[in-house]
Structure 1
């Protein structure tokens, strides 16, 4: 009787859930990561980290020379390019734990298309375009938010 119930329960599961393994998901996720890194503009992503700093410095009235700007760009690239690339390479097991084989395959297949490759190239630009709004939103809310956080943590009024 137990074997009949177990067999019935197994039939209710999607066949893909029965067939796929974590190793299969990691293999396809590795393919996705390789495709993503081919066209990913790491310098543009890293620029989203240093550009707001420069904007803030210039907004305070200071002048940033072209030489200083190049030195800051180089510093950020030296500091973040290797680790950020490694973080991206390390995402395959995370994807395998969060997504189905079908989802990872669809991502891989999309990024293999001309449109997908174009999207990957534009993601840092999207991040950079949204960052000032996100920073403004966070900064505008911090004076109200922090006292509440401190109160919740029993550290404030």
Structure 2
């Protein structure tokens, strides 16, 4: 059971943050100039704070889903899982940020990165970034309302590809 819980929590975190997986590909190292521009961009858009906010926003909903899916968890086990996620978030965000730098450096040109830096360092760019958390907060109820239909659709599509009824029949009680 605990392995299932750990897999569920870790899987949800990885699904939410795909940049780590993308950075695993063997790409040539980006130039120092591009790395510096990406770091400047991340600083201007408050990348780490934004990612921390996203994780903090999805964690309660994710944990509610864990609670619903695993009602047998004791309050102590559930709290331990929640605490583990909270404690791991800082390191996760730092690693995700570091892993994202070469991805951005590969995708964007020096000119694009320079223009992004210039824009997001302006008062208008900073104002936009200051409003992103509010927009995200206001969107969260809509996203969460869509999740049950999304999950049902994923399950329906999965069961169309594999025989789910056979899996349920073979599942130990």
Per the normalisation by structure 1, the TM-score is: 0.57
**Residues in 2 aligned to 1:136 and 1:128: alpha-carbon distance in whole angstroms:** 14
Once the two structures are TM-superposed, the CA of residue 75 in structure 1 deviates from its matched residue by 3.0
Which of structures 1 and 2 has the bigger CA Rg?
1
Q: 1:115 maps to which residue? A: 127
Q: Report the count of equivalent residues.
A: 129
1:137–1:106 distance in 2 versus 1, CA, 3 Å: farther
1:44–1:77 distance in 2 versus 1, CA, 3 Å: same
Comparing 89-98 and 41-50, the one that deviates more: 41-50
Q: 2:152 maps to which residue? A: 140
RMSD (Å) for aligned C-alpha atoms: 3.9
Q: Which runs of 5 or more structure 1 residues have no equivalent in the other structure?
A: 1-20, 152-157
**Residues in 1 aligned to 2:64 and 2:143: alpha-carbon distance in whole angstroms:** 12
Q: 1:149 maps to which residue? A: 161
**Residues in 2 aligned to 1:126 and 1:46: alpha-carbon distance in whole angstroms:** 15
**Residues in 2 aligned to 1:23 and 1:123: alpha-carbon distance in whole angstroms:** 34
Q: 1:98 maps to which residue? A: 107
Contact 1:50 1:72 (8 Å CA) reproduced? no
Q: 2:89 maps to which residue? A: 80
Per the normalisation by structure 2, the TM-score is: 0.53
1:15-54 equivalence runs, <5 A: 22-37=31-46, 40-54=49-63
Contact 2:44 2:117 (8 Å CA) reproduced? yes
Contact 1:32 1:108 (8 Å CA) reproduced? yes
Q: Which runs of 5 or more structure 2 residues have no equivalent in the other structure?
A: 1-29, 164-173
Contact 1:28 1:101 (8 Å CA) reproduced? yes
Once the two structures are TM-superposed, the CA of residue 88 in structure 1 deviates from its matched residue by 1.6
Secondary structure of the corresponding residue to residue 40 of structure 1? helix
